[in-house]
Amino acid sequence: MIIRPRPRGWQLLYILRGSIVPAIAPRVLAIGMLAVAVALLAKLHHPFAADGLAVAPFTLLGLVLSIFLSFRNNACHERWWEGRKLWGQLLIETRSFVRQGNALLADDAPLRRRVSRLLVGFAHALAARLRGRDEAAAAVPWLAPGQQALLQRQNIPDGLLALVAAELAVPLRGGRLDPYLYACFEQRLHALSSVQAACERIAGTPLPFAYTLLLHRCAWLFCVLLPFGLAGALGWATPVVSMLLAYAFFGLDQLGEELEEPFGLEPNDLPLDAMVRTLEIDVLDALGEHPLPEPLQPQGYLLQ
């Protein structure tokens, strides 16, 4: 995620870090070069370029394309925002679980420490799973001796939640934990499992490919044909107008692509690593462990 102050004045014209420009620059430049060639043909009185095409089709196509892009970007932003809310819920449930553990398992500090650290491992493993990283490597630092068999599971985040439930079942069977209190912990684990399932749903269910392909094709068709419609009337101003419109349409298209996969590593994706570090700090602080790790800070305005 890009973290930087809101640009003001002339900054709007030259800021690149955090902008969509680097991702779409080759496409915009290609349209600009095409527009220069078409404007040159119009200047040389080439019949086709000089007369130009009718403007009405471009107006209608641009309007339809704008509506389609708006619908797609709204759908992509909804996925991004849902992902952010899910990770906020994960943080809430983990903090609540640790708070309940400190109060209800105060006489069994080793158990309280083990289950709390397993929840930190769950957050690390889930972030690794969503970003295609090694889940086992993310979970290992948070496992206690004798828990390494978990690493053989296909779904390590789910295995971590199962291990927390198994740890709590020991005092339950021994009569040291009331069934009602165990149900309270299980409710938190169920909420964390629901967060994981919802994140996997977002990551594994992209927008329909045919819809995305249609928008890509329409955007390219509009931007490629636009110089032919403007050259006769605008002359050498055709490249400027064509590149501005290409920037708008290609930029919205690219931004939708980045927001569609909110758990990735694109500049506008969610800062999962930073959120996991925040959860780690909170849990370790609640356990009384020091020194605490430092919060992650943006590097070059980019917070991962």
Q: What is the pLDDT of residues 13-54, one digit of tens each?
A: 666 676 778 888 889 999 899 888 888 887 776 555 445 555
- In sequence order, the 6+-apart residues with CB closer than 8 A to the CB of 220 are none
* Full-model pTM: 0.87
Kindly report which listed range (33-37, 80-84, 144-148) carries the lowest average pLDDT score.
144-148
Say yes or no to pLDDT of 304 above 80: no
- Name which of 5, 38, 91 is nearest 234 in CA terms: 38
Give the per-residue pLDDT at 271.
92
- Nearest C-alpha neighbor of 261 from the set 205, 195, 178: 205
Amino acid 50: pLDDT: 44
Q: Say what percent of the chain tops pLDDT 70.
A: 89
pLDDT of 3 higher than 90: no
Per-residue pLDDT at 209: 83
Q: What is the pLDDT of residue 18?
A: 67
Q: Which of 122-126, 168-172, 247-251, 262-266 has the highest mean pLDDT?
A: 122-126
Give me the pLDDT at residue 14, please.
62
Closest C-alpha among 283, 150, 192, 131 to residue 139: 150
Cα–Cα distance between 87 and 194 in angstroms, integer? Answer: 11
Amino acid residing at 44? L
Span of 4-8, 121-125, 192-196, 228-232 with lowest mean pLDDT? 4-8
Percent of the chain with pLDDT over 90: 38
State yes or no: pLDDT of 106 exceeds 60.
Answer: yes
CA-to-CA separations, 105 to 50, 117, 182, 297, in angstroms, rounded? 82, 14, 11, 34
Give me the chain's average pLDDT, please: 85
Backbone dihedral angles phi then psi of residue 141, each to the nearest 5 degrees? -60, -15
* Interatomic CA distance for residues 73 and 62, integer angstroms: 16
Which segments of 131-178 does DSSP mark as H helices, in order?
135-139, 156-173
- Is the pLDDT score of 181 beyond 50? yes
pLDDT of residue 13: 62
Q: For residue 223, what are the contacts with CB-CB under 8 A and spacing of at least 6?
A: 27, 31, 242, 245, 246, 249, 250
